Every structure is written in structure tokens, then in C-alpha cells.
Structure 1
């Protein structure tokens, strides 16, 4: 039996994932969590075979991947996200995820992905282009690739319209640390304003649209 942990900030979504996975017959959901911190603690406690996680949730899905992989390099983490932008997929894989499935994928992809990771294989949803695993030679993309995992999470949150204070609280950082990250991010990306940062994030599908 494949033991799975589900991390998503929507209870109805978690319940749907659980029904879908357990209907497969060889998968059992041993725990679920509604944010990155809760998911990390649940992962430590239950040591599941596979963790299925969203990226857009409190405490940060990308940060969750990083923390888990720091503790166990061969952890089997499967991202199931509404976002399918190339840069975000690459960043998740670089952070340590072993699979990525957009939520627009057919339901059976989630079962296939869990089974693949449990078997020691990597998994990308069939509709994701193979070139997602290749380096994009565009200068702007190369600049994005220079961001550290923490800088990228700060960049994504700022682009979504979070204030520095909100970002600091969500990531358990000081306001000064976030401010320093913000300065470094703008320098690395070659942007001078918050609006330019948002436009860059939209162009590379790090976010789906600007702040609301």
C-alpha cells in the first residue's frame, strides 16, 4: 500500500484528492495538511511514501519542498498545482520535487504520478512539454534562474501583491530580511519598479495575473 500525504489549503480539494487516490485500491492517504508548516510537521511525523502538494498555500509550497528535501534528499514530492508555467515547473523540480501535474490534467494523472514516484521514477504530466527540463537561453529566463529558492518565493509573493510585511510573516522572516531579498531580486532581474517585477512574473507565468 502506497502511503500518501496531501498538502493543499482547500479542505474540499483535499477530500477530493483522497477519494480519487484511495479509489485506486493501492493508495492510502495517511494525513493531510492545509499549509506548508503543517505539511512539514505531518511529513516528519508520518514519513509518507509520497507527498502531493500544491504550491500556492500559506507558508509556501516551494519552501515546503526545500525544507523536506534538506531533511531527506530522496523524498518523493509530487506537485499538483493550478500553475503550469515553464519557470514555475522548473523551479519546483530544481527545489527537489520529483513530479509535476497541473490541476487541469485528467484525474488519472494524479494516480499515475503517485505510483511513478513510489516506484522511484520522476513524473511530468503528458501535456507538459519535454523542453521544461531544458535550459531556456533567453536572458530574462537566465536571470530568473539566478534567484535562490528563498528569493524566488519572495519574488512570487511580491508579484502576487503581498506587502513586504505580509511576505515576512508568511515565510517567518524579518521585515529587514525581506527588504534585502527584494533589493537583490530587483538587481538580479534588472527591474527597477514593482510593476516591472509583476509584468516579468506574468510573462513567465510565475503568476497567472497581476495583484488584485
Structure 2
């Protein structure tokens, strides 16, 4: 069972997310918080598998709450917000969120994001992820295999990961087992020194087309 902490200052949103998760066999909401300060306390008390974090809240906002939670212990925190602009996106990434989804996403994509986050992946809104990669590409030259000593297979995994594909999707695309893909992702993190899939995506550049 995936244990979720829901953080949002709107009661209706919290109730809706609880109802959505409660309808699943493998997801449950173990706590809900109306602001960042409550989120930090509840993350400590409940140690959820995944945190769904609103970003714009009065008092302690979601970005500061993310910093405080991760300073205490590592856990997947997925931003769930109405804002897809850089004013919120990059501070959230720097704070350590492991995913970034928009509130207009479909219930199916949100649930998939929760499950992926619990598995150590980084669920991102496709449009947001594309903008991150474009921005990284404008700032510096693409990373090459020689930069990190990657094998040809690691390069393939690297590029597909940057497009936002899950481990299962990468496995299907490359005709590999999911466990093998996980091993390659762990190897990429070790070789590049990056701690999560989001940071890897900032290094990689998917081929055109």
C-alpha cells in the first residue's frame, strides 16, 4: 500500500484527492495538511511513501515545506500545482521535489505519478519537462557519452529518461527488463553524480524527432 500525505490549502482539493486515492486498492491517504508547517509535522509523524505538495499556500509555502521535510529525511515529494511558470518550477526543483504535476492533469496520470514516485521515479507534466530540457539545452552543450564514460546502452536509457519515460516505458522501447533499466538508471546516477531522475533529465538531451 502506498501511503500518501496530501498538502493543499483548499479543503475541496484535499477531499477530492482523498476520494481519488481511496478508490484505489494500492493507494491510501494517511494524512492531510492545509499548509506547509502542518506538512512538515505530518511528514515527520506519518513518514509517508509520497507527498503531494501544493506550492502556493499562506504562511510556510510548499517550496519551503519541501526543504524542511527533506532536511529531516528523504522522501518523494511531488509538486501538484496550478502554476507551470518558472517562478515556481525552478525553486521547487532546487528545493528537491522529485516530480512536478499540474492540477489539470487527469486522475489516471496523477495516480500513475503517485505510483511512479513511490518506485523512485520522477513524474513530470510532459510540457513542463520539455521546457526544462529546452532551457538546459540553451544554457549549455548537450552531455556526451565521453563526458561521463557512458556505454551505448546507458546513453539510450539516458536520452529516453530525459523525455519523461518511466522505467517500464524505457524497458518496452529498448526491449529490456524493468530491473535492467533500474540498474542502468542507478549506474547513470553513480557516473554523473546526480541524485535523482530530475537532475539526470537536466543533463540529457533527447534526439530530435
TM over 0.5: yes
Indicate the RMSD between aligned Cα atoms, in angstroms: 1.7
Aligned to 2:63: 62
Note if contact 2:5-2:43 (Cα within 8 Å) is conserved in structure 1: yes
Aligned to 2:106: 106
> Shift of the alpha carbon at 1:45?
0.3
Would the alpha carbon gap of residues 132 and 31 (structure 1) be closer, same or farther in structure 2, given more than 3 Å must change? same
Note if contact 1:109-1:125 (Cα within 8 Å) is conserved in structure 2: no
> Shift of the alpha carbon at 1:137?
4.9
What 5-or-longer segments of structure 2 have no aligned partner? 140-209
Would the alpha carbon gap of residues 136 and 85 (structure 1) be closer, same or farther in structure 2, given more than 3 Å must change? farther
Aligned pair count reads 137
User: Please, what TM-score do these two structures have when normalized by structure 2?
Assistant: 0.61
SS at match of 1:127: helix
Measure, in 1, the Cα distance between the counterparts of 2:129 and 2:80: 16
SS at match of 2:29: strand
| Runs of 4+ residues deviating >6 angstroms | none
Measure, in 2, the Cα distance between the counterparts of 1:84 and 1:66: 20
SS at match of 2:117: helix
What 5-or-longer segments of structure 1 have no aligned partner? 139-212
Note if contact 2:6-2:14 (Cα within 8 Å) is conserved in structure 1: yes
Note if contact 1:89-1:132 (Cα within 8 Å) is conserved in structure 2: no
Q: Cα deviation per residue 1:26-54 (whole Å; 9 max; x = unaligned)? A: 10100001000011101100000001010
Aligned to 2:125: 125
> Shift of the alpha carbon at 1:106?
1.5
Q: Cα deviation per residue 1:151-189 (whole Å; 9 max; x = unaligned)? A: xxxxxxxxxxxxxxxxxxxxxxxxxxxxxxxxxxxxxxx
Would the alpha carbon gap of residues 129 and 99 (structure 1) be closer, same or farther in structure 2, given more than 3 Å must change? closer
Measure, in 2, the Cα distance between the counterparts of 1:96 and 1:54: 14
